[in-house]
Amino acid sequence: MEYFADRDRLSRGEATVLDRVNGSLTRINEHQDLNAFLHVDSEGSRQRAAESDERFASGLPRPLEGMTLAVKDNISVVGQPMTCASAILKGFRPVYTATSVERLLDAGAIVLGKTNLDEFAMGSSNETSAFGPVLHPIDPLRVPGGSSGGSAVAVAADLCDVALGSETGGSVRQPAAFCGIYGLKPTYGRISRYGLTAFASSLDQIGVFSKTVADMRAVFDVVSGHDPFDSTSVVPPSPRQRTDGPLRIGILPPETLAPCDDSIRRAHDDVVEQFRRSGATIEVVTIPHADIWIPTYFILATAEASSNLARFDGIRYGLRVPEDEAEGDIITASRTAGFGKEVKRRIMLGTYVLSSGSYDAYYRKAQKARRLIADAYTSIYESVDFVVMPTTPTTAFLRGGITDPVTMWLSDYFTVSANIAGIPALSVPVGHDAQGLPIGMQIQGPMFSEELIFDLAERMAAQQ
Amino acid sequence: MLELYEAVIGLEVHAQLLTSSKAFCSCPTEYGAEPNVNVCPICLGHPGALPVLNERVVEFAVRMGLATNCSIRERSGFSRKNYFYPDLPKGYQISQYEDPICYGGYVEIEVENDVRRIGITRIHMEEDSGKSVHDLDIDTLVDLNRSGVPLIEIVSEPDIRTAREASLYLQQVRQILVYLDICNGNLEEGSMRCDANVSVRRKGATAFGTKTEVKNLNSFRNVEKAIEFEIQRQVSLLEAGGTVVQETRMWDAGAGETKIMRTKEGAADYRYFPEPDLGDVVIDDEWKESIRLSLPELGLAKKRRFMAEYGLPAYDAGILADDSEVAAFYEATVVATRDTTHETCKLVSNWIMTDILRIMGDRKVGINETGISAVQLASLVSAVRSGAISSKVAKDIFPDLVGSGRLADDIIAERGLRQESDTTVLKGLVAEVLANNPDNLEKYRNGKTNLLGFFVGQVLKASGGTANPGVVTALMKEALDGTGS
């Protein structure tokens, strides 16, 4: 579904928000097998739809009036449960609404429901959800990507206009690429994290899924901006302007692209060729330390996760194993029962890298590596406007196809560096492989360059 | 054997800051509210909630740092101290670790007639945990009103050598905190908490002995007793050929001894790492200097000034300057007497240290709630100093001043208590008394000169208590011996 494709008709009264919402609710119902939604708020959505129709009728619609929105179930929305796809939060109902959702609601959007994810956003395939995997909309035997798989599928399968996801190492861009839609990871700090259940605070960002750049841009305009409730949210210094002269595109050297499937590699070369033909200069850039992107990311992310997930202790909310049933204390018993395998794996890894004997060898080193990667990006953007690279090394893989956790982590190969450096990146759908599975290319830009990335993505769309 | 050893002591003092809202959210910090009412998603550790630093916390920490001669770090940051406990909602405490906001200062204490400098290693900001209530028959209950209340931790260098010094240091730190109006300094309520690191070594040794950490020191008395006990315990251990084990011990005030809580092996690995949800704390020079300029005169400086300016003994000056309100009351009283002779200054001090501090102690009130103002006290002191009334009469009418708002002169006039110093009137009374006591006069003349007191007493009695005893004594002596004094 594309919101702005329908907006004029809604304005003219030729279509109603209620019809669109009812259509969505019907499709959600028909596609329950996809397991994209963990909670659907039919009643509330219809109510808000009626209000939106009144606003259209009165001629005073808000910027996103009646836009249908799905929200990843690790983002707080009052009135709907929040599980983070974990047994430990079963039955939890948040008492406040995330700033990003609040802003969308204020702009007239309608939250249809909460979408499935890898447990606590830890996964790349949506197989770690405590409530079952999300299926790929084209091939049910394949994964939709993760961790924001439910949100990606909700948009890809036309269950809603747009969806919020969250990224720590590629959790929006990777499923967007697998599902053939747009997926944005903004500059760190541009969208408030208040209300996003933290996985790795210094890497986490709320991201957006859409079918069009226009919808993406409109949502981003509404949700971005400083939030006094998030000390890490930023005010962009000033809108970034396009540099003079022809567009300068940076691409990765062949050895860095080596892990890619042939189909991905061909799609990449086609996109680059298109840029070249349209007058852009192409420059091979080296983002150093490609071999340590993943280790750096996993050290930082798991360290922070081990601390962020400590609050789930069965004391104040969520699952509690009662004292008389607990072997040992309530906290240990509740966490043992409530967390899934991948979450436990990452908590243990994170606990290890922060422990007094390992801190210097792992965590401190990873912090240094992070600075190197960020600095490298800064200098790269002195010579190019954007860096274009595949979003993923492969297209959507088979469910259960990757059982080794490290191999699974490697599917984030192209995405983690943007999170480590804090720069924005957009995954753009660019075609399909031989099996008809979508391929995504990502455009990475310097800090605060979202608007320019959208411009470029629009030009790419126009050329296709 | 004790005299062969010296103790090495460092104190860690936690002080709850008197901000109106918590360190990272806007919940009130008031003490004594119903359990779990001053809470919000942030201090409850709800998923997705984020901390935002209260600027006041930084200001208060800087105040304490400047008042204790610390350097202030231009850029510092927070870290997470990770551990599990039911009253710790996030599973970590936001604290400062590698770069505390203040470092390298000192506090002066006066021991006997010596001034000792106790180094301050660091002062850092952190948040308090909630409170677990165990002493109920049912389950343990958790109250999170205190969760997120701001604290500063003041860590001393191991410069303290005796239990007495430790107590004096703690009193000095408390006095500074209260003077700065950043902590109410109440050890019993736990708004100030103290842990002591104690080790002993042979006198003359330079290496430190193995230390133990003693917790639960909730009064100055307990600080002294616990450290005293711990020193003795460690010396006895060493003398018996044993070794001190690094461990955390709990002071049991009832039993009068420290008891083992946990050993080093049982100590948690807190896995500190930089708090990613908060930015750096940056303090520019302008702000720092404006805070420095706003610092009040502190207790020790005030004490020294009182000694120099008012000629007070160290003891008086120390007591008066210990409480800034008492000190202010004292100075206001001296000003109101319009008399800065050392005699008057000392007399004002006497009144405050006895009668007024007694009321404060009895009623558990501050000096401004005793019911007697500086102007009233000054009127009483002036009446004594001018000779209008005797000290005894002053004591008698003091209770009439309290709560009435009346001045001493007013009461003296109303009750005709003005002291009679007129020599003509008094000479008449002297003559009368001598005439009425011929026997005693005879005895006096025969050498029983201690009857002087008897004669003076008779005159005072005859005057109805208003005769100025000094003048009467002089006149009586003159009458008896034919001399003036």
CA distance linking residue B193 with residue B88, whole number of Å: 18
- A229–B84 CB contact, under 8 Å: no
| pTM of the complete model beyond 0.95 | no
Smallest CA–CA distance from A363 into chain B, residue: B273
As a dihedral over the C-alpha atoms of residue A346, residue A349, residue A350, residue A351, rounded to 10 degrees, the angle is 120
pLDDT at B485: 43
Residue B483 has pLDDT above 60, yes or no: no
Amino acid at A288: P
φ/ψ of B178, rounded to 5, equals -70, -40
Closest by alpha carbon to A99, among A7, A27, A191, A181? Answer: A191
By residue range, what is the domain housing residue A193? 3-223
Q: What is the mean pLDDT of chain A?
A: 95
Smallest CA–CA distance from A100 into chain B, residue: B48
- Chain A residues within an 8 Å CB radius of B272: 354
| A389 min Cα distance to partner chain B (Å) | 29
pLDDT digits (tens, 9 = 90+) for A110-142: 999 999 999 999 999 999 999 999 999 999 999
pLDDT at B449: 86
pLDDT at A456: 96
pLDDT at B484: 44
Q: Which own/partner contact pairs does A313-317 have at CB distance under 8 Å and 24+ positions apart?
A: A313/B84, A313/B86, A313/B91, A314/A88, A314/A338, A315/B86, A315/B89, A315/B142, A316/B44, A316/B45, A316/B89, A317/A89, A317/A92, A317/B46
CA distance linking residue A205 with residue A223, whole number of Å: 12
pLDDT digits (tens, 9 = 90+) for A350-364: 999 999 999 999 999
CA distance linking residue B418 with residue B421, whole number of Å: 9
Closest by alpha carbon to B36, among A157, A316, A279? Answer: A316
Is residue A406 domain-resident? Answer: no
User: Per this entry, what is the length of chain A?
Assistant: 464
Closest by alpha carbon to B233, among B477, B2, B485, B475? Answer: B2
Residue B44 has its nearest CB partner, among A84, A232, A316, at A316
**List of residues 6+ apart from A224 with CB closer than 8 A:** A186, A190, A191, A450
Is residue A73 domain-resident? Answer: yes
- The interface pTM score, or ipTM, of the predicted complex is 0.95
Residue A228 has its nearest CB partner, among B49, B52, B89, at B52
Is residue A156 domain-resident? Answer: yes
Is residue A414 domain-resident? Answer: no
Is residue A65 domain-resident? Answer: yes
Indicate the SS3 state at residue B292: helix
DSSP character string of B120-189:
EEEEEEEE---EEE--SSSS-EEE-TTTT-EEEEEEE-S-B-SHHHHHHHHHHHHHHHHHTTS----TTT
Residue A303 has its nearest CB partner, among B86, B89, B273, at B273
Q: Which residues on adjacent β-strands are paired with residue A283?
A: A250
pLDDT digits (tens, 9 = 90+) for B385-419: 988 888 888 999 999 999 999 999 999 988 878 88
Catalytic residue list of A: 72, 147, 171
Poorest-confidence range of A320-329, A438-447, B254-263? A320-329
Indicate the SS3 state at residue A164: strand
Q: Which residues on adjacent β-strands are paired with residue B105?
A: B120
pLDDT at B420: 79
CA distance linking residue A95 with residue A90, whole number of Å: 15
Q: Which residues on adjacent β-strands are paired with residue A182?
A: A210
Is residue A255 domain-resident? Answer: no
User: Per this entry, what is the length of chain B?
Assistant: 485
Is residue A109 domain-resident? Answer: yes
Is residue A127 domain-resident? Answer: yes
Task: Provide the domain count of chain A.
Answer: 1
Residue A406 has pLDDT above 90, yes or no: no
pLDDT digits (tens, 9 = 90+) for B127-183: 999 999 886 667 789 999 999 999 999 999 999 999 999 999 999 999 999 999 999
Q: Which residues of B touch A (CB under 8 A)?
A: 41, 44-53, 80, 82, 84, 86, 89-92, 139, 142, 269, 271-273, 276-279
pLDDT digits (tens, 9 = 90+) for A248-306: 999 999 999 999 999 999 999 999 999 999 999 999 998 877 888 899 999 999 999 99
* Domain containing residue A48: CATH number: 3.90.1300.10
pLDDT digits (tens, 9 = 90+) for A212-248: 999 999 999 999 999 999 999 998 887 677 777 899 9
Closest by alpha carbon to B218, among B248, B243, B186, B241? Answer: B186
